[in-house]
Chains A and B, each alone.
Chain A
Amino acid sequence: MPTTRRQFLSLAGSITVIPIVTLRPLEATPAMLNTVIRNVVGEASIRTGKVKLDIPPLVENGNTVPMTVSVASPMTADDYVKSIHVFNEKNPQPNIGNFYLNPSSGRAQISTRIRLADTQKVVAIARLSDDSFWQVIADVVVTLAACTEEVN
């Protein structure tokens, strides 16, 4: 029996499909970046300098971006770098890594490879033994993004 227009409409009306799509924010916002930085730094002020961030300014593949952070520090028992924290602005999560050093590190320098989902700022913050914080900000242009592509 062919479905009449009336039957079709009553059927359509009874099945109310409300698409509930909870979307996670696809990228960290500058506000999220500030929050995570404040989680590490607390109320302390962050000065610019001392920290050097070596990262390519133009990245073709955001899936693996070499990065080196170094801090100008004598690395003695009285004056050393306690930790280095790296953040990003627009990945789904603002953290990249926390690296903990001590006077026996000898040199305050770490390297790793990171993912970048978009053209964005990368922030490196160093905590010195006197609990002062120093930062550097680098701009990176990414042509092929990481993280959010489909899995095949």
Chain B
Amino acid sequence: MAALINVPAKAKRGDIIEIRTLTSHIMETGFRRTMDGALVPRDIITSFTCRYNGAEIFRADLFPAIAANPYLSFFTVAKESGKFEFEWIGDNGYSSTASASITVE
């Protein structure tokens, strides 16, 4: 599934950098009804994790009150060159990953 990741390509060691992620997902709340009254089943992303060279640096539990196409922004300290891995997990076995690399000088 398509995801947009915004991580600076380069940073100085010790810099605090912002990481922004956007992924495409309907985030169906499970509270909406169709015209004929049937409840539309819930289909949301429930969990987001970001790992920096294997170590978890940020995690979030999401609920139906998160808007469609979940956007998340958070910070971390640039410690070493390497890779950020992002993982979204949701209802109906949904799972999606993305990654971004950074050079730390």
Taking Cβ atoms with an 8 Å cutoff, the residues of A that contact B are 63-65, 68, 88, 91-93, 95-102, 104-116, 146-152
- The reply to whether A98 and B75 form a contact with Cβ atoms under 8 Å apart is no
- The reply to whether B57 and A95 form a contact with Cβ atoms under 8 Å apart is no
Number of interface residues of B (CB under 8 A): 32
Q: Enumerate chain B residues within 8 angstroms of A99, measured Cβ to Cβ.
A: 58-60, 74
- Nearest CB to that of A95 among chain B residues? B63
With the chains together, A146 CA to B29 CA distance in Å? Answer: 10
A136 to chain B, nearest CB (A): 17
- The reply to whether B72 and A105 form a contact with Cβ atoms under 8 Å apart is no
Q: Enumerate chain A residues within 8 angstroms of B73, measured Cβ to Cβ.
A: 68, 110-112
B15 to chain A, nearest CB (A): 8
With the chains together, A98 CA to B68 CA distance in Å? Answer: 17
A65-B67, A99-B60, A113-B71 given; name 5 further pairs at CB < 8 Å.
A63-B68, A101-B58, A111-B73, A147-B64, A150-B33
With the chains together, A88 CA to B77 CA distance in Å? Answer: 31
With the chains together, A112 CA to B60 CA distance in Å? Answer: 11
- The reply to whether A115 and B66 form a contact with Cβ atoms under 8 Å apart is yes
- Nearest CB to that of B65 among chain A residues? A96
How many interface contacts (CB-CB < 8 Å) are there between A and B? 109
B49 to chain A, nearest CB (A): 9
Interface flags, B19-54, vs A, CB<8A=1, else 0: 000000000010111110000100000000000100
- The reply to whether B74 and A109 form a contact with Cβ atoms under 8 Å apart is yes
- The reply to whether A93 and B65 form a contact with Cβ atoms under 8 Å apart is yes
Q: Enumerate chain B residues within 8 angstroms of A104, measured Cβ to Cβ.
A: 52, 55, 57, 76-77, 79
- The reply to whether B77 and A151 form a contact with Cβ atoms under 8 Å apart is no
Cross-interface CB contact of B35 among A100, A111, A152, cutoff 8 Å: A152
Cross-interface CB contact of B40 among A64, A100, A116, A151, cutoff 8 Å: A151
Q: Enumerate chain A residues within 8 angstroms of B55, measured Cβ to Cβ.
A: 104
- The reply to whether A98 and B61 form a contact with Cβ atoms under 8 Å apart is yes
Q: Enumerate chain B residues within 8 angstroms of A106, measured Cβ to Cβ.
A: 16-17, 75-77
